[in-house]
Amino acid sequence: MGINFNNYQENTKYQLRIEPYCRRFKQPLQTHHGLWRDRQGIWIQLRPMTASELGEEGWGEIAPLPSFGSENLTEALAFCHSFGGEISFKQITSIPDRFPACQFGFESALIDLQALEDPPHLTNICGLLPTGKAALDPKLPIWNQGYQTLKWKIAVAEISQELKLFQDLLSILPEGVKLRLDANGGLTEQEAHQWLQACAGQPVEFLEQPLGVSEFPAMLTLCKQYQTPLALDESIATWQQFLQVYHQGWPGIMVIKPAIFGFPSRLIDFCQTHPVDIVISSVFETAIARKMLLRLVATLPNLDRALGFGTDRWFEEGIGGWGDGEIGG
């Protein structure tokens, strides 16, 4: 991607525009964290104070996810307004870690200002199935869209019911297609054992975040007991959590949501010097953040797993872009 901040001056200033948005899901998304009806966030635009031509702008997106440890939308909006429509390069690079979604959005806009080539179109995407019995509907478009990896959220109903649905799902899974099971930290340790036993010998790529964030030692133990890989998500939602888990010797997969992870450049620097098995995943961003995610994917080494980007179909009108939010700014 060629990110280069070496020529930037700390006192370089930018005009700052912000536009809050709200995009509704076609149908609410049920997870262990609750029912999600819409996606709210903030688009930002940076324009150098010295810009002389139209087109000298950079766009970024702030897409908070408080249930995963980021700032909330109200905090992010207040932070953006605190700059009074003008921000410097130094202020951007000094955004505190308690605002990881803001770190991502502002640095994304800086990167977008560098007139980089558009990122390549990617096809190795993981599709997201509806939760529960709805996933078994053969008329769902997702079954005919060529996905080689599908994700199904669990821990949203009683386990015996979900295990029965899992067997039904396996019976209609096309040959060669792999499943990712995502518990969002909603299983007990006993239930995690039940799921991992049920996964044995099945086309399950990994079981994602079976236990809560505080139960990291138990998940380490589970990794050693079963062949089905485990992946962490909520446990590594922020940069600080990621570093802690890495240094504690996590042997499994790590699902990273860059939009709430902090500065993209920090993730790039780490992955270029440390061998990690990661999956880059969406938090239901719009097209502005998606562009930055694709740039990251084109830059990060050893991304062999399907990307967690199969979220477009959940929105009423595609994945959106600047100017078509439903909340004015």
Instruction: Report the alpha-carbon distance of residue 15 to residue 176 in Å, rounded.
Output: 50
Strands 125-128, 149-153: pairing is: parallel
Instruction: Report the alpha-carbon distance of residue 147 to residue 224 in Å, rounded.
Output: 30
Question: What residues pair up with 127 in beta bridges, in sequence order?
Answer: 150, 310
> Can you say which residues are annotated as belonging to the binding site for Mg(2+)?
182, 208, 233
State the burial class of residue 321 (Cβ atoms within 10 Å of its Cβ: 0-12, 13-18, 19+). middle
Residue 223 dihedral angles phi and psi, to the nearest 5°: -55, -35
**From 151, 153, 178, 291, active-site residue:** 153
Asked whether the beta carbons of 81 and 57 are under 8 A apart, the reply is no
Question: What residues pair up with 35 in beta bridges, in sequence order?
Answer: 30
**From 26, 151, 164, 257, active-site residue:** 257
Determine the Cα angle at 320 with ends 318 and 321, to 5°. 155
Up-side HSE of residue 316: CA atoms within 13 Å toward CB?
A: 11
> Can you say which residues are annotated as belonging to the binding site?
182, 208, 233
To the query of whether residue 139 is one of the catalytic residues in this protein, the response is: no
Report the catalytic residues: 153, 257
